[in-house]
């Protein structure tokens, strides 16, 4: 019997389930760097560089540790897999669960000449079966309830059975607008080594559609480097992460954000070690509880919740379009060339780095896509393509559910829709924009304003069923029909001018 382990590009951990299952047994290990993956969508060039370079480095680490490794650079995934199974005489293929509906369906549709064993994915805090057990016994799947149960389950920031500090959530302390001079820390970046440079050269030569710029590439590509980023975050960024985690500032790509999501999503870091390091730093460095709690909530709360819901919901969840939005995504989402400074800043940053923090994603990119009525699937596919930390399990629930409310409220309790007022409060983007954030109509009116009110007006019947929207909808009653018509017409004119 010859055991084979196929290590996927986002499972790069020595203790991942498929590798661990073979300890003490002779096993062959396969990596496939396939152009079919790169051609699935117009991925950011730096996403391709990150995944392939991290795969090559991890494969070398396994070889050094004594594993028999095959690293296939191939045009086609299935052909490379079948050739390896045949060449190595594999009788059992072991693979850790991929957390990807389309990949799982494709894999199960293969008629392989060997036994296929799928193991539970241990790169998350919650196993899928445990999340489903939690979800199946509840009428509503609120993140806050899940987060509290997670805190108790893993004994994080707890005093007995009570939350440290007397409350579970310090979110109200973490919404500080960016005022005055901000002394932000320099991100922990890396120069590409020979392996990464070879991947950069390969990506630059690909004759497929891609997004963004491949260089300068400065992301970590090994576990050792990712641990350095974690160390730097704990030492230099976590203290001030909380208050300014929602702030957006021109020229500040990273603020105090951790920049750990690409490494968590690749498997270079494990979420348990990350949150335990943050908890330990609370006492060791006398850090503010609101910063540490806010960070832990993102990793062990939101991240685990998104992945759990992705597997809990039906596979067609990503096809939902509750508002029946039909507007195509405008071309400037590919170029960043728009007079709306907030969108220009966010898209330009993504083109350069493959990264934007959660409020840029939610309250700039998703918010505008929601109120302007873009097709949810086009928005989801764009997010999946352009972000360096994006995977199907990340983007379906985050974009379809949280960002666009296209699931009709299965995930969020209300749409995250806002006018220019929020952008103006939490960023300096409006100061460098030709539009006026206080005007609803007219040549200088910010599109966020007329799209916001048009969105509320168009979908009033659906929105009034969402209890948290009733107060906001009352503001529509204060607007006369002539202004609402002018707002609607200006929104229609914008779409005509932005194909």
pLDDT string in tens for the chain (499-residue length):
799 999 999 999 999 999 999 987 789 999 999 999 999 999 999 999 999 999 999 999 999 999 999 999 999 999 999 999 999 999 999 999 999 999 999 999 999 999 999 999 999 999 999 999 999 999 889 999 999 999 999 999 999 999 999 999 998 888 899 987 889 999 999 999 999 999 999 999 999 999 999 999 999 999 999 999 999 999 999 999 999 999 999 999 999 999 999 999 999 999 999 999 999 999 899 999 999 999 999 999 999 999 999 999 999 999 999 999 999 999 999 999 999 999 999 999 999 999 999 999 999 999 999 999 999 999 999 999 999 999 999 999 999 999 999 999 999 989 999 999 999 999 999 998 999 999 999 999 999 999 999 999 999 999 988 767 888 888 888 899 999 999 999 999 999 999 8
Instruction: Output DSSP code: residue 27.
Output: E
User: What would the two tokens of residue 167 be?
Assistant: 């409350």
CA atoms of 180 and 118, how far apart (whole Å): 53
Q: What tokens appear for 85 in the block?
A: 């199974």
Question: 347: which residues sit within 8 A by CB, 6+ positions away?
Answer: 332, 333, 335, 336, 338, 365
- pLDDT score of 468: 77
At 372 the pLDDT is 98
What residue ranges define each of the domains in the chain, with the CATH number in brackets? 3-119 (3.40.50.620), 137-210+220-312 (1.25.40.80), 318-497 (1.10.579.10)
445's CB contacts (< 8 A; 6+ apart) are 435, 436, 439, 490
In DSSP terms, 117 is beta-bridged to: 94
Q: Rounded to whole angstroms, how far apart are CA atoms 295 and 290?
A: 9
CB atoms within 10 A of CB 213: 15
Pick the closest to residue 102 from 11, 15, 40 (CA basis).
Answer: 40
In the prediction, which pLDDT does 451 show?
98
- Are 50 and 266 contacting, i.e. CB atoms less than 8 angstroms apart? yes
């Amino acid at each position: 019997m010859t055991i084979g382990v196929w290590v996927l590009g986002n499972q790069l951990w020595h203790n991942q389930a498929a590798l661990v299952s073979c300890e003490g047994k002779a096993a062959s290990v396969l990596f496939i760097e396939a152009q079919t993956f790169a051609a699935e969508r117009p991925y950011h060039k730096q996403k391709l560089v990150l995944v392939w370079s991290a795969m090559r480095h991890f494969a070398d680490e396994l070889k050094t540790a004594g594993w028999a490794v095959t690293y296939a650079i191939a045009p086609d995934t299935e052909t490379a897999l079948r050739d390896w199974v045949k060449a190595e005489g594999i009788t059992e293929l072991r693979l850790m669960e991929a957390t990807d509906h389309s990949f799982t369906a494709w894999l199960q549709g293969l008629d392989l000449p060997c036994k296929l064993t799928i193991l539970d994915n241990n790169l998350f805090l919650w196993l899928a079966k445990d999340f489903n057990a939690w979800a199946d016994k509840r009428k509503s799947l609120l993140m806050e309830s899940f987060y509290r149960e997670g805190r108790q389950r893993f004994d994080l920031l707890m005093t007995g059975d009570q939350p440290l500090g007397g409350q579970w959530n310090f979110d109200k302390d973490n919404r500080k607008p960016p005022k005055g001079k901000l002394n932000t820390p320099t991100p922990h970046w890396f120069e590409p080594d020979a392996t990464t440079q070879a991947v950069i050269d390969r990506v630059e030569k690909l004759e497929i559609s891609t997004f963004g710029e491949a260089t300068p590439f400065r992301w970590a590509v090994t576990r050792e480097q990712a641990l350095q980023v974690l160390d730097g975050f704990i030492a230099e960024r976590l203290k001030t992460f909380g208050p300014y985690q929602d702030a957006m500032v021109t020229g500040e790509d990273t603020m105090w954000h951790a920049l750990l999501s690409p490494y968590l999503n690749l498997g270079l870091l494990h979420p348990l070690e990350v949150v335990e390091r943050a908890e330990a730093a609370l006492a060791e460095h006398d850090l503010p509880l609101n910063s540490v709690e806010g960070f832990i909530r993102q990793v062990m709360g939101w991240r685990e919740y998104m992945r759990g819901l992705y597997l809990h919901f039906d596979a067609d969840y990503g096809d939902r379009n509750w508002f029946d939005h039909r507007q195509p995504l405008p071309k400037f989402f590919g170029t960043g060339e728009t007079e709306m400074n907030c969108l220009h800043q966010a898209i330009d940053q993504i083109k350069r780095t493959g990264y934007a923090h959660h409020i840029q994603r939610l309250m700039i990119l998703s918010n505008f896509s929601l109120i302007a009525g873009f097709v949810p699937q086009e928005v989801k596919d764009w997010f999946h393509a352009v972000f360096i930390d994006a995977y199907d399990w990340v983007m379906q629930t985050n974009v379809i559910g949280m960002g666009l409310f296209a699931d009709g409220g299965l995930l969020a309790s209300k749409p995250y829709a806002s006018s220019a007022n929020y952008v103006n409060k939490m960023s300096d983007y409006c100061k460098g924009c030709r539009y006026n954030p206080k005007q609803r109509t007219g040549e200088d009116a910010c599109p966020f304003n007329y799209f916001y009110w048009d969105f509320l007006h168009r979908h009033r019947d659906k929105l009034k069923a969402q209890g948290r929207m009733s107060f906001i909808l009352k503001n529509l009653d204060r607007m006369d029909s002539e202004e609402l018509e002018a707002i609607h017409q200006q929104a229609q004119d914008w779409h005509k001018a932005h194909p």
